[in-house]
């Protein structure tokens, strides 16, 4: 498709303004747009909307070309501004919205970082266009429709530049249709820049004829957009990138360093005497600084969230959310080292009965449901100051500093025993387990320590389990 587009654009480069050459351009453009819409009918999934917007932008641009030709043929030269400009300008936001939609799908909620980085680059790009393209073109001219419309095109290029930055900087697939899209955007930007520079090179030709020289460049760019749509893996452009591909690439740091250097460099090398020039510089610097600060805050908050999550995982069981063995040992050691004149601390060692049978019959997913539900019930009966932990498998521990007598310990064990009375319901199945509970208090040991208290509670739990099995066998 790009080779066919280049062939259709060669006549315009050789003979700009020739009717036959322009006809080749329109034929190629219309063929690509039609092919893209035919292919879109076979694409399913969330990427369909994004591709539809891209093809809508191309169709709008084609309509602008056809309208311009019709006005030139039946009305006369359209002049500096015509109805075609409405179509040509409106294609930029359509294309940007479609591409951002595709990027949002594949970034898995991580578009914000790429969007901020793209806005940082686009801020400098917009300032350069304003300072060196728009202002010089509007200099000594009164505010009029041609001046406003003329400024919209470089601003549209800024939008496309921002989309390119988002595609490059945001995480996601880099192969297949993505390469076509990036290439298409790059060529579109190049074509627009060259069109704005041609008047200074070919002063003997009219503006329309000058633009015709680059029909081939823009046609190849449009063919690349359609190539992404007709690509066999077109729908994969919306697939999130693997975790290993979501790391910060060194090139991203370079891209972000460019805007931080560009604006101060131009400000130091150029003397901006006009009020508008100075105001635009100040506004752009403030906006650029704000974007960088917001990006910095997001990075810091992201790191804080990761550290908090890692700290939580280091001290909690990932399945049930209860404290894990290291956390329990730390709390128990602090409790034993504190001055005490009471019966506690008391350790309740819980082991589920019948849990293995549930795993064997219904699978480990059912076992996980039982463990999570038991942990939820366990948390619900804890008093202030009590700590519940999962040691592993179906073994749980409750540490209480509030138990003052063996009778209170027995009452607490009874409340824990009652947690398994009601079965756990999963997909209509009633999963029933029991619990054996061992109790050990610091006051029961001559020299209580962490290992000794855990071992005593475990031994008492094993005696309870053995006694239960003896009763069942009898």
Which of 32, 84, 36, 92 is closest to 220 using CA atoms?
A: 32
Give the residue extent of every domain in the chain.
2-311, 325-473
pLDDT of residue 196: 65
pLDDT of residue 141: 62
Q: What is the phi-psi region of residue 172: left when phi exceeds 0, alpha when psi lies from -120 to 50, beta otherwise?
A: left
Out of 135-149, 280-294, 326-340, 396-410, pick the least confident.
Answer: 135-149
CA 181, CA 347: separation in Å to the nearest integer? Answer: 64
Q: What is the phi-psi region of residue 318: left when phi exceeds 0, alpha when psi lies from -120 to 50, beta otherwise?
A: alpha
* Residue pLDDT, tens place only, 29-74: 999 999 999 999 998 888 899 999 999 999 999 999 999 889 888 8
> Do the beta carbons of residue 102 and residue 168 sit within 8 Å?
no
* Residue pLDDT, tens place only, 169-224: 666 666 678 889 888 988 888 887 777 665 555 554 445 555 677 788 889 999 99
Q: Could you tell me the CA-to-CA distances from 249 to 162, 171, 458 in Å, in that order?
A: 18, 10, 52
CA 349, CA 390: separation in Å to the nearest integer? Answer: 10
Q: Is the model's pLDDT at 280 over the cut of 70?
A: yes
pLDDT of residue 436: 93
Which of 114, 115, 102, 56 is closest to 237 using CA atoms?
A: 102
User: pLDDT higher for 453 or 404?
Assistant: 453
* Residue pLDDT, tens place only, 414-438: 999 999 999 998 888 899 999 999 9
The model's pTM is 0.61
Q: Could you tell me the CA-to-CA distances from 351 to 51, 360, 373, 395, 424 in Å, in that order?
A: 57, 17, 15, 5, 16
* Residue pLDDT, tens place only, 266-279: 766 666 667 777 78
User: pLDDT higher for 257 or 333?
Assistant: 333
pLDDT of residue 230: 92
Confidence grade of residue 298 (pLDDT, cut at 50, 70, 90):
confident
Out of 154-168, 179-193, 348-362, 381-395, pick the least confident.
Answer: 154-168
Chain CA centroid to CA 22, Å: 43
User: pLDDT higher for 399 or 267?
Assistant: 399
**How many residues are present in the chain?**
474
Q: Which two tokens stand for residue 196?
A: 């704005």
Which of 103, 102, 112 is closest to 291 using CA atoms?
A: 112
Confidence grade of residue 108 (pLDDT, cut at 50, 70, 90):
low
* Residue pLDDT, tens place only, 6-36: 999 888 888 877 888 889 999 999 999 999 9
Which of 324, 308, 325 is closest to 316 using CA atoms?
A: 324
The dotted CATH code for 325-473 is: 3.30.70.270
pLDDT of residue 219: 92
Q: Is the model's pLDDT at 249 over the cut of 60?
A: no
Out of 103-117, 183-197, 399-413, pick the least confident.
Answer: 103-117
Which of 470, 336, 450, 340 is closest to 397 using CA atoms?
A: 450
* Residue pLDDT, tens place only, 340-355: 666 778 999 999 999 9
Summarize the confidence of residues 453-466 as an average pLDDT.
Answer: 91
Bridge partner list, 397:
349, 389
Give φ, ψ of 149 to 5 degrees: -65, -40
User: pLDDT higher for 154 or 411?
Assistant: 411
Confidence grade of residue 252 (pLDDT, cut at 50, 70, 90):
low
Q: Which two tokens stand for residue 404?
A: 């003052």
């Amino acid at each position: 498709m790009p080779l066919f587009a280049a062939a259709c654009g060669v006549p315009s480069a050789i003979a700009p303004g020739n009717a036959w050459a322009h006809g080749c351009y329109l034929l190629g453009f219309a063929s690509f747009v039609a092919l893209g819409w035919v292919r879109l009918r076979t694409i399913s999934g969330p990427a369909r909307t994004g591709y539809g917007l891209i093809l809508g932008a191309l169709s709008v641009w084609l309509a602008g070309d056809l309208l311009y030709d019709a006005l030139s043929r039946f009305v006369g030269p359209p002049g500096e501004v015509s109805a075609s400009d409405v179509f040509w300008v409106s294609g930029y936001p359509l294309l940007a919205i479609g591409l951002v939609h595709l990027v949002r799908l594949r970034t898995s909620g991580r578009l914000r970082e790429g969007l901020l980085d793209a806005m940082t680059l686009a801020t400098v790009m917009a300032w350069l266009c304003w300072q060196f393209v728009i202002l010089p073109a509007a200099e000594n001219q009164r505010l009029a429709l041609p001046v406003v419309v003329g400024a919209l095109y470089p601003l549209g290029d800024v939008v496309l530049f921002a989309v390119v930055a988002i595609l490059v900087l945001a995480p996601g697939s880099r192969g297949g249709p993505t390469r076509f899209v990036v290439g298409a955007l790059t060529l579109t930007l190049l074509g627009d820049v060259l069109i704005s520079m041609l008047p200074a090179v070919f002063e003997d030709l009219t503006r329309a004829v000058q633009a015709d020289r680059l029909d081939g460049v823009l046609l190849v760019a449009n063919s690349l957009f359609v190539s992404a749509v007709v690509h066999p893996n077109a729908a994969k452009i919306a697939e999130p990138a693997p975790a290993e591909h979501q790391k910060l690439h060194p090139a991203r740091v370079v891209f972000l360093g460019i805007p931080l250097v560009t604006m101060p460099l131009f400000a130091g090398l150029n003397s901006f005497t006009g009020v508008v020039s100075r105001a635009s510089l100040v506004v752009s610097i403030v906006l650029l600084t704000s974007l960088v600060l917001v990006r910095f805050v997001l990075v810091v908050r992201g790191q804080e969230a990761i550290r908090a999550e890692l700290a939580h995982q280091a001290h909690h069981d990932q399945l049930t959310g209860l404290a894990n063995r290291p956390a329990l040992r730390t709390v128990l050691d602090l409790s034993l080292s504190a001055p005490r004149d009471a019966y506690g601390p008391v350790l309740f060692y819980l082991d589920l009965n019948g849990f293995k049978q549930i795993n064997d019959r219904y699978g480990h997913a059912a076992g996980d449901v039982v463990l999570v539900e038991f942990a939820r019930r366990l948390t619900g009966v804890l008093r202030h100051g009590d700590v519940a932990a999962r040691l592993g498998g179906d073994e749980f521990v409750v540490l209480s500093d509030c138990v003052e007598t063996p009778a209170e310990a027995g009452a607490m064990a009874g409340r824990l025993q009652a947690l398994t009375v009601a079965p756990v319901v999963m997909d209509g199945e009633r999963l029933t387990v029991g619990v054996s509970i061992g109790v050990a208090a610091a006051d029961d040991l001559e020299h209580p320590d962490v290992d000794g208290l855990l071992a005593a509670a475990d031994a008492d739990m094993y005696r309870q389990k053995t006694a239960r099995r003896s009763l069942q066998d009898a």
